Structures are given as structure tokens and as C-alpha cells.
Structure 1
Amino acid sequence: MSIIDRIRRDKQLLYLSLATALRGMRDNLRYIIWQPFALSLGIPVRDIGALESLMDLAKIIIQPILGAASDVYGRKKFLVARELTVLAAGLCFLFAESWQLLALGMVFIGLGIALIPIWHSTVAESIKANEMGVVFSLLGSAYMTTGMIGTIAAGWLADNMGYRTVYAISVGFAVLSLIVTIFKIDETHKPSGKAKFTVREAFTSLLDTFRPPRYMWGYYIAMSVDLFAFSVGWRLINGMLADVYGFTPGMLGLMNAVNTGTMAIFQMVLGGHVDRYGYKKFLTISQIISSCLLAVLLFFPSYPVAIGASILMGLGAAFWMPAEQAWVAKNVDPEQRAKAIGGYSTFRGLVALPGPFIGGIVYDIYGYHGPLAINLTLAVIDVFLLWFLVKDNAREENELLHNPELKN
């Protein structure tokens, strides 16, 4: 039976796919216009970078604790909480007239992102181990397909009907996603025994973020360099292009639609091969592609080039996303999957936390080229880190090293 047939017959996978598609529309409607919207309120790029870092801080503070708590209490209630926080963020953006509500909205977005590892754990617990790469790819394609529609719609609506209309529609999709999560997605993790999660355990979970298993350190380092690099540069690209080159929301929407459309198409093509050919190869290829697009956009900043760079970014992300998600799901302890995924995301987030703020300051001093030059330099370095530090079967090799009898 093919994966598509399984999704049709398996109600859990079907509703996971539906929720993913709704979130793709919801998130991309909001994301594509938020930096131009902030500029329209008189907020400079430097402060947009600070707001991006605020979002990261909100995520980092609580992410490992939430993951560990879901290992004790189950996934479902945390998935619902995620939908509620993103809905609250949408309402903040809808009614924002100054930086205060924007800041609160970014905090809510950060809290919602903090709960994403629990979603990944839910997906992993709903499928077989040898299906992780292809299922994560298909869900990513569902997200990006509706996201492509959302980015085009957001740009056109913002140009013709204003930013508030876009946020109102985004809130509507947030409500639909909440309904699907509450009524259709099943609990996948029911711990045996009496549920208990103390303050001490919460503190331990936070500390564990800084002491991952030794076999994961190479992966942590390579992936953290990547996130910091793109937090300094690419994270601010919409605001920089709008501020320096006058890109309108419609132009940015088309750019991001090309990006997400390319990603959706190639994830469907590549998803079935990631488990076969290896995660390290996919991650390294992705970073090489990203380095090429950054170089082109750095030296030839025009709208046609930006469209071409968006195609390359979509292709690179199609290699990256399923490989990253599947590597983590495969190499962490299944009994503490959400905690481990949350700890990984928190570690990366801490490294990248100052990235958007630094990017904003560099932009103020050196202009458009400064943040992208830093991004490109670190991306090239990361190509080598990914190739030499990441091992596809790190956990399995570590167990064999410490338990040689497992070979028999």
C-alpha cells in the first residue's frame, strides 16, 4: 500500500494532513506581510529584527519544558494550546496600531513555535519508523501547497484591500485549524502510571538542553550554525527588499509563492528518497543550493533575480526539511521524543537568538549587503560542518559502540 493510500484510509494521517494544510494557509498569510506591515507602522528594520529575536526568546524559554511535560501528560492538550496561542497572535496583529501589540503577537507566535516539537512527535508516533522521511515530506508539501496560495493571496489582498483584511482571513484559518485539532486528531502518547511533572523535572529538562548525548553534538553544531546564519540575513529579507528596493507586498507574495510552490513540488519528489540516500547528503546539498542563491541575491539584487533565488530556496528547503525532521525523529530516545526534539530546537534557538537583532544592526550600518554577506559566509562554512560532523545513524552507532553484543 502506498503512503497516499495509507493517508486516505488512516483517519489520523488524514486529519494531520488537513490540519497541516490549514496551518500552511494561516501561517503564510501572516508571515508574508508582517515585516512590510511593521514598516507601515513606522517600525525600522532594526526594530523588526529585535521583534524577531523577542519571538525566539519566547520560544526558547519554555520549549524544552513543554516537550518534557507532553512526554508525561500526553500530546493532545499541548497541540490545542498551540492552536490557541497562534490564534491569539493573529488577533494581536489584526488590531495592532503600534509596536506594543506587534510585540505581544510575536511572543504568542514564539510560544506556538515552542510547541512544534510536540506536533512532530505526534506525527512520528502515528507512523512506522521506515515511513518518517516520506510522511514528513508529504506533510511538508501539504503545508507548502496551501502556503503558496496564501502568499499570493496575502500580497494581492494587502496591495488592494489592506493588511487588516489579510490578518482577518488568517484568523479564520486559525479557527478552522483549532477545530480540527480539538475534534479530529487523536492522542498518540498515553504514558503508563500516574502522571507527574514537578518543578524539579522542569528545571532538569531545561538543563538537559545544554547537555545532549555526545553522539548528537556534531548535528547540534552544524544545525545551529545554519540557523544563526539565516537568522542574521534571510530572516529579514522581506523587510530589507521592501525598505531598500521598494518591493510591494504583492511582489513579496509572488516571491514567496514561487518559493513554497517549488518546495511543495520537490518535497513530493524527494521525500521517498531521503531515507534511502541518507540525511547528511540531503542536508549538505541543501546548504550548497542556499549558498548559491545567497551569492546571486547579494551581487545582483533585482526582482527577476529575487524570483530565481526564491526557486532555489524552495529547492534547498525541499532537501532540508524532511531530512532534518527525520534525522531527529530517528536518533532521539522514543520514550522522550518530544523532550529531545524540544531540547534540540531550544539549543539551536539559543545560538541563533541574537541573529535577527544583529542582522538589523548590521543593516543599519552596512545596508542591504551586510546581513546577506554574513549569511553567505556562514552557510559556506556550514556545508563542511554538515558533511564532516553529521552521521545518519548516530544513535545506532553509539549503542553499538557501548554495547558490542548488539551486533550479534
Structure 2
Amino acid sequence: MKEEIRLGLGENWKQFTLLVIINAFVGGMVGLERSIFPEFAETQFGVESKTAILSFITAFGITKALANYYTGKLANQYGRKKLLLYGWLIAIPVPIILIYAPTWSWVIAANMLLGISQGLTWSSTVVMKIDLVGEKDRGLAMGLNEFAGYFAVGMMAFISGYVANRYGITPYPFYLGIGIAVTGFLLSWLWVNDTRKFVDKESQTDSSESMTNVFRETTFTHRTLSSVTQAGLVNNLNDGMIWGLLPILLASLSFNTENIGLIAAIYPTVWGIGQLFTGKMSDHFSKKGMLFWGMLFQGIAIMILPFTDDLYLLIGLSALLGLGTALVYPTFLATIAQVASPSQRAESIGTFRLWRDLGYAFGAVISGITADLFGITAAVLLIGIITIISSLIIKFRMPLNLSK
């Protein structure tokens, strides 16, 4: 008897819940580095240049971006589950390399592997959840997905900072990474089912207009998709700066590793928890409005960061930055899922995620060079200005009719 394929969150809650849990493990892998890497670079390898320290984010961003694109490109051909499993296999050696790395170049290589792994695993879980839920609950689905991933980033940033402060910068924080990668692989291998059949089901009733060139239209010419894409790039551009320079800025203010971990963790934690609400909001409220205000909140928070050394104000700014990011992150993906046809959705999301995660590399390079030449304050302010400009592009370029 042929199994009936039914779209919907309620109809597919078991697989959906499993994918949410798996994405939490994906987020945990990158959260491992979030609060400790600048100190790791300086104490273990004597790397002091801001540009050199941020080189690990550049390597991560470029490889994750390319993996995102090819995951979207190849998802229909090879299947989502296979790409998810490949991603976990690539993740397993990353913490082991970090523990035994003899030189900084080995750290860079480990982060290239981490970028490939993140692109394969995170993109696969995103596309699979959208496949399962159908049109009605896309925003909620993306909110739950991104909540799981970024809440885990925040929790792991705090835990690794705590462990490093108590037991040393290495190897103990990286032991956690080995457990995360092995568990994520086993969950994916044993219980995840591929979702291509759900795409075939949705395509039977979909009336979305197909794109003639998915990459070009998502990047440049489609006003909605290209507006979302530039905002995604800028969002991760400022995230790359926060990842690399915020711990250095806080260390210069004499905060210890535990407090740095706390402040660094608030941002992705609020970002993660907030998406439980903002994802569902994007199903009911103006996606354009949410994207504009989210990018604007981020820009304002970043502009204030260099001008205070008060712990509680820094926590508040980190929370505002997290709120702004929560408003935009699930909304990016829900917007693309609404506009792109089911057969082209994975590729359009892959193209968006290519540019979004290249933002890590752009942010690391721009902020690192600016910090080395003009100081950390100048670097943070520059990224804040770019973020506010991105919000204005959303306001004046993105149409209210998202199909354009």
C-alpha cells in the first residue's frame, strides 16, 4: 500500500521535531568557538593581529557559503539526507584537529572543514523542514529551526567560555565538540528520512512562476529576493565582526573569560529564543516591515557598543542585537520559500545562503583590516553604518508585493 504524502507541521511533527533537535547540534558545533577563539589564537599560537585572528572566520565563511550553494544545487539530485550525513562526517575531525593543531594554519584548515560541514548540515535541515510543512507554517518552521540552531550557539558559547575559564582554553572545550558531532551523525543516520517526495507533492498544486536563472534573479534582479539576499549578507557581515572583535573589545575593558562568554552568549540566545515568536509573526505580519526594523535595530545596537564599559548596558545591547537578528533570520527564509517555486526553492535558498555566509568573510576582512589600521572602535562603527544602510535598501527597494 503506497504511503500517503501529507504536507503540514502537525502531519509531520515527528520528523520535524527530530530535525529541530539535529539543528541544535549543528548550532552547538559553531557555538563552541564563539567566545574563546581570539584568546585561543593569542595564547596557543601567538596570533595578535586582528586581521590574522579573524582569518579563521574568513575561512569558515567562504567554505560555508560555497557548501550552502552546492547543497541547494544538489539537494534534488542526491537527496537531503545524504548531504546531511556527509556534513556530519566532515564535522567529526574538526575538534580533534583543534586539540592537536601544531600551527595556526591547522586551525584555519579545521575551520574550513567546519564551514563545509555547517553548509551541508544547516542547509539540509532548513530545506527539509520547508519541504515538510508546506505553505501555511513556513515562518513558524523557520523560527523553530533557527531557534534551535542559534539557541544552541548561545548556550555553547557560554558553556565553552565557562569551561575555558575553569579548566583552560584547550583541550576541554573541544571535547564537547567531539560528542556533538558523533551524536548529530547518529541521529541523522538512524532516524531522518529524505523529503524529496514532499517537494513532488507540493509541486502538483503550486502556481509560482519559475525563474529563468535562479542565481542571477536571487542575487541581483528580483527585487524581493535580491533585497533579502543583500540583507542576509550584511546580517552575517556584522555577525562576523561581533564574533571576532567583540571578545577582543571586551577583553580590552578587563572583562574575564566568563563575563565575555556571558555577553557573547546573550546575543545568539535572544536571537534564538526570539525566533520562536518572530518566525510565526512572519506568517501573519509584513515581512518587509520585519526585515527593515530588524536590520535597523542591529545597526543601532552596534553603533552604541564601543561607547560603554558598563556590563549591564553591554548585556542590553547584546540583547537588542539579538532581537534585531531574530526579526530578520526566519523572515529571510520564509520570504524566499514563499516566492520561489518548490522545484527551485532549494537552489534559491542555497544562493541566498551563499551570499549570506560570505558575509562572515566580508565582515571578518573589513572589520579586521579597519581595526588594525584605525582601531576597534572605527571597525565597529563602520559595520554599524553598513547595517543601517542595508535596512534602508529593504525599505526603498523591496516591494510590498513579494512576487516582484
Deviation, 1:368, is 1.4
Pick from 29, 32, 45 the counterpart of residue 29 of structure 1. Answer: 32
2: distance between equivalents of 1:387 and 1:296?
A: 23
- Paired residue for 2:47? 43
1: distance between equivalents of 2:97 and 2:338?
A: 37
Pick from 219, 235, 248 the counterpart of residue 240 of structure 1. Answer: 248
- Paired residue for 1:53? 58
Checking the alignment, whether the CA contact within 8 Å between 1:73 and 1:191 is kept in structure 2 is no
Checking the alignment, whether the CA contact within 8 Å between 2:333 and 2:349 is kept in structure 1 is no
- Paired residue for 2:91? 86
2: distance between equivalents of 1:22 and 1:310?
A: 23
1: distance between equivalents of 2:340 and 2:395?
A: 20
1: distance between equivalents of 2:141 and 2:291?
A: 18
- Paired residue for 1:297? 305
Between Structure 1 and Structure 2, how many residues are aligned? Answer: 378
Deviation, 1:246, is 3.8
- Paired residue for 2:203? none
- Paired residue for 2:207? none
C-alpha change, 1:221 and 1:271, in structure 2 (3 Å) is closer
Deviation, 1:306, is 2.0
Checking the alignment, whether the CA contact within 8 Å between 1:210 and 1:347 is kept in structure 2 is no
Q: Which runs of 5+ in 2 are unaligned?
A: 1-7, 201-212
Deviates more, 1:15-24 or 1:78-87: 15-24
Q: Is 1:152 aligned with 2:158?
A: yes
Checking the alignment, whether the CA contact within 8 Å between 2:34 and 2:243 is kept in structure 1 is no
Q: Is 1:170 aligned with 2:174?
A: no
Deviation, 1:110, is 1.7
C-alpha change, 1:19 and 1:226, in structure 2 (3 Å) is closer
- Paired residue for 2:3? none
Q: Is 1:284 aligned with 2:287?
A: no
1: distance between equivalents of 2:58 and 2:82?
A: 27
Q: Which runs of 5+ in 1 are unaligned?
A: 194-206, 399-408
Amino acid at match of 1:236: G
1: distance between equivalents of 2:138 and 2:282?
A: 9
Checking the alignment, whether the CA contact within 8 Å between 1:227 and 1:352 is kept in structure 2 is yes
Instruction: Name the Cα RMSD after superposition.
Output: 2.7
C-alpha change, 1:187 and 1:229, in structure 2 (3 Å) is same
C-alpha change, 1:37 and 1:393, in structure 2 (3 Å) is farther
Pick from 221, 228, 231 the counterpart of residue 219 of structure 1. Answer: 228
Deviation, 1:208, is 5.8
Pick from 129, 132, 152 the counterpart of residue 126 of structure 1. Answer: 132
TM-score, normalising length from structure 2?
0.84
- Paired residue for 1:402? none
Q: Is 1:64 aligned with 2:80?
A: no
Deviation, 1:315, is 1.2
Checking the alignment, whether the CA contact within 8 Å between 2:32 and 2:160 is kept in structure 1 is yes
C-alpha change, 1:8 and 1:24, in structure 2 (3 Å) is farther
Checking the alignment, whether the CA contact within 8 Å between 1:15 and 1:185 is kept in structure 2 is yes
1: distance between equivalents of 2:9 and 2:125?
A: 19
2: distance between equivalents of 1:241 and 1:371?
A: 11
C-alpha change, 1:220 and 1:329, in structure 2 (3 Å) is same
- Equivalence map 1:372-387=2 (5 Å): 372-387=380-395
Amino acid at match of 2:326: A
2: distance between equivalents of 1:130 and 1:191?
A: 14
Pick from 328, 331, 343 the counterpart of residue 335 of structure 1. Answer: 343
Q: Any idea what SS the aligned residue of 1:277 has? A: coil
Offset from partner CA, 1:328-355 (integer Å, 9 cap, x none): 2222231122222112222344566443
C-alpha change, 1:130 and 1:159, in structure 2 (3 Å) is same
Offset from partner CA, 1:158-205 (integer Å, 9 cap, x none): 011123111101211111111111111110015999xxxxxxxxxxxx
- Paired residue for 1:12? 15
- Paired residue for 2:270? 262
Amino acid at match of 2:178: V
Checking the alignment, whether the CA contact within 8 Å between 2:80 and 2:194 is kept in structure 1 is yes
- Paired residue for 2:314? 306
Offset from partner CA, 1:74-98 (integer Å, 9 cap, x none): 1111001111222222222222242
- Paired residue for 1:107? 112
2: distance between equivalents of 1:7 and 1:17?
A: 14
TM-score, normalising length from structure 1?
0.84
Q: Any idea what SS the aligned residue of 2:195 has? A: coil
Q: Any idea what SS the aligned residue of 1:306 has? A: helix
2: distance between equivalents of 1:64 and 1:392?
A: 27
Q: Any idea what SS the aligned residue of 2:284 has? A: helix
2: distance between equivalents of 1:191 and 1:311?
A: 37
1: distance between equivalents of 2:87 and 2:67?
A: 13
- Paired residue for 2:205? none
Checking the alignment, whether the CA contact within 8 Å between 1:209 and 1:347 is kept in structure 2 is no
Checking the alignment, whether the CA contact within 8 Å between 2:65 and 2:357 is kept in structure 1 is yes
C-alpha change, 1:226 and 1:17, in structure 2 (3 Å) is closer
- Paired residue for 1:142? 148
Deviates more, 1:14-23 or 1:208-217: 208-217
2: distance between equivalents of 1:379 and 1:192?
A: 35
2: distance between equivalents of 1:271 and 1:69?
A: 27
Q: Any idea what SS the aligned residue of 1:32 has? A: coil
Q: Is 1:253 aligned with 2:290?
A: no
- Paired residue for 2:103? 98
Deviation, 1:144, is 3.8
